[in-house]
Amino acid sequence: MRRLFSSPYLFWALLALPAVPMLISLISDPGAAENLLHPSGEFSARFMIIAMMITPLRMIFPKAGWLNFLMRRRRALGVAAFLYAVLHLVLYVLDEGALAPMLAEFTELGIWTGWLAFAIFVPLGLTSNAASQRWLLAGWKTLQRFVYPAAVLTLVHWIFVNNNLGPALVNFLPLAGLEAWRIWKNYSGRQTAAA
C-alpha cells in the first residue's frame, strides 16, 4: 500500500484528474471552451502556488513528512501548472476562433499579462527535467526563479480578466505571506550573522 501511495504515476493521475471532465466536456461540445477557460487557468495557478509554497513551508516545518513528500514531487506540480496553462491557452484560442479578436484585445492588461506569464512558463516547463538540470548546471536554478515574475503576472491576469479581486487574492495571499516571511527570515539571518 505504501508503494502505491509513493508511486509517481498515482501522483500524476491525481494531477490529471481535474482535466478529465474538462476534456470530456470539450470533446462532447466544442462550444464549452468558454466555460472551461476559468477552471483550467485556476488549476494552473493553484498548482504553481502549491509548488512555490513548499520551500517556505519546509523552513517553518522542517520535520513534516508530508512536506518532504511534496518536495520530491515539486517538479511534477510545476509541470502540471505548465500543462494546465497550455490547456488554458488552447481553450482561449478555441473560444476566440480567429486571430483578429485575439489581436484586438491583446493590449488589455488582463490579456497581455497572461501571454507574458505563459511565455515565461514555456522555458520553465520545457526545462523541468533532470537532463536540462544537468545541462544548465547553476543556470537551471536561475531560470527557475523566473517563476516569481510569472506568478505576479498570473495574479494580475486573473484579477483583470475576471474583474474580481477576491478569488485571486484568496489563492495568492497564502503564497505572498509565506514568501514575505521567507524574505524576512533570510534577511534577519544575514543581519545576525553579520553582527
Q: Do 43 and 16 touch, CB atoms closer than 8 A?
A: no
pLDDT at 34: 92
pLDDT band at 2 (very low <50, low <70, confident <90, very high): low
Distance of CA 72 to the CA centre of its chain: 17
The pLDDT of 79-93, averaged and rounded, is 96
pLDDT band at 193 (very low <50, low <70, confident <90, very high): low
The C-alpha atoms of residue 104 and residue 163 are separated, in whole angstroms, by 19
- Cα torsion 164, 118, 73, 190 to 10°: value is -80
pLDDT at 138: 83
Domain ranges of the chain: 2-194
The three cell numbers of residue 45 are 495557478
pLDDT band at 95 (very low <50, low <70, confident <90, very high): very high
What percentage of residues in the chain have a pLDDT greater than 90?
68
pLDDT band at 43 (very low <50, low <70, confident <90, very high): very high
The C-alpha atoms of residue 150 and residue 153 are separated, in whole angstroms, by 5
DSSP the chain: -HHHHT-HHHHHHHHHTTHHHHHHHHHH-GGGHHHHHHHHHHHHHHHHHHHHHHHHHHHH-TT-HHHHHHHTTHHHHHHHHHHHHHHHHHHHHHHH-SHHHHHHHTTSHHHHHHHHHHHHHHHHHHT-SHHHHHHHTHHHHHHHTTHHHHHHHHHHHHHHHHT-HHHHHHHHHHHHHHHHHHHHHHHHHHHHHH-
| Better-predicted residue by pLDDT, 165 or 92 | 92
Count of alpha carbons within 13 angstroms of residue 37, beta-carbon side:
17
Cα–Cα nearest to 37, from 79, 77, 103, 84: 84
pLDDT at 80: 96
